[in-house]
Amino acid sequence: MGKILKINQQIKSFSKKITIEGDKSLSIRWALLSSQAKGISRSYNLLRSEDVLSTLKCLKTLGIKVKLRKNYCEIKSKGLNKFNYRKNITLNAGNSGTLGRLIMGLLIHSNKKIKIIGDKSLSKRDFLRVTEPLEKMGANFKTSKGRLPIKIQGTNIPKPINYIENKGSAQCKSSIMLAALNTKGVTSIKAKKSRNHTELLYKYLNIPIKIKKKKNFDLIKVHGVTEIKTLNYKIPSDISSCAFFITLTILSKKSKILIKNVNLNPTRTGFLKIIKLMGIKTIVKNKRNYKGEIIGDLQIKSHNTIKPINCPTTLNSASIDEFLLIFLIAAKAKGVSYFKNLSELNEKESPRLKWGSKILNKIGIKTETTKHSIKIFGNPELKVTKEIEIKKFLKDHRVFMASVIASITFGGPMWYIHDRDSINTSFPSFLKKISEFGVKIN
């Protein structure tokens, strides 16, 4: 399979019912928490992406028994802080910020030095947001100016702390929460609102946690424990992955789609709220609660008229992974859309705010950008008349997939999209799913 994807086909009308792979955030959190549970935990519909496989490999290196079967994954552990590993091991987080940051919290009690590395993209990302609070809890770090590679050595007596998390980083918050399990006392986190999968899993597992929800932040208190119960879990579909096919439907003509068993956690559905403000209606069917998470089936149809939006910043954290797609939808709106306070987008696998603007400019949409904002001058009549090449985006999977959606909805003589293997980090079956819509993948 070549690394450059060539597309010169605009998608035709469709009516589809699909199922998307398991949620990446939940897949990684299930694995990390199961590594601390005494006994055997089993998951179904685990996402089999490079990020999740990197997580399982790291746990094996730490002495955890992992069985990956065709229909399920099984993790066997002796309990909290029962890692069994040799000296001077190296854990490779690959492309995964979730893995790289969260696993540091689990290592707060480690008495041997451990080196954590990642790929070129992950090695450019900020880890001070995690090392600073964990140092307050007693861990020692040697970093490369706050970036990977990082060496960590834990402490025999992790200390509970009071910490203010003001970036809206669920990874930072979750890392502290994982470290808090090993303390004798209560760790308090005043956290800017972000996805809450870790909190919901703690509640389901009866880990002592108290949450007070305020307007702009959550006050979270976690008490240390001596044991965690096992977790059997059927992982719902990832809303971030579903968003690509929702966008595909919105931007296509006379089309509709039904996506089954989608995770509709309110901290993750900012995308659906934003497109609703743009005049796009989503119908939720078969809505239910599963171990704290809200699950449902999503139905959506194509839209001929899209409203421009002055996007409320309160929706940013709940849609941070979907903004490249939101920008594509805004490109078809009749008028100017404005998005601000998005500096966190540039802390992802690539500077996504920059790439969102670049893709739109390539297809003929005018933008005005700053370090944290973008104005998009929509054009409902846009026609792409030149060849387009997308490359050197640090193998960011979301840049690649958003470019594919743009190519088959906006059209054009030919698109050359590099690094097709980037999808393996989060959505390995993406191109296979796209081909099911009648698109030829070369």
CA angle 201, 241, 273 (to 5 degrees): 80
Q: Cα dihedral angle (46, 435, 268, 309), rounded to 10 degrees?
A: 170
What are residue 374's DSSP bridge partners? 339, 369
Per-position DSSP letters for 85-103, written without gaps between them: --TTEEEE-TT-HHHHHHH
Task: Report d(CA 437, CA 323) in Å as an integer.
Answer: 23
The token pair at 380 is 């409902």
The residues that are catalytic are 321
Contacts of 370 (CB under 8 A, 6+ apart): none
Nearest to 194 by CA among 164, 218, 219: 218
Task: Report d(CA 1, CA 108) in Å as an integer.
Answer: 42
C-alpha atoms less than 13 angstroms from C-alpha of 133 in its C-beta half-sphere: 30
Please name the amino acid found at residue 93.
Answer: A
The token pair at 105 is 């919290």
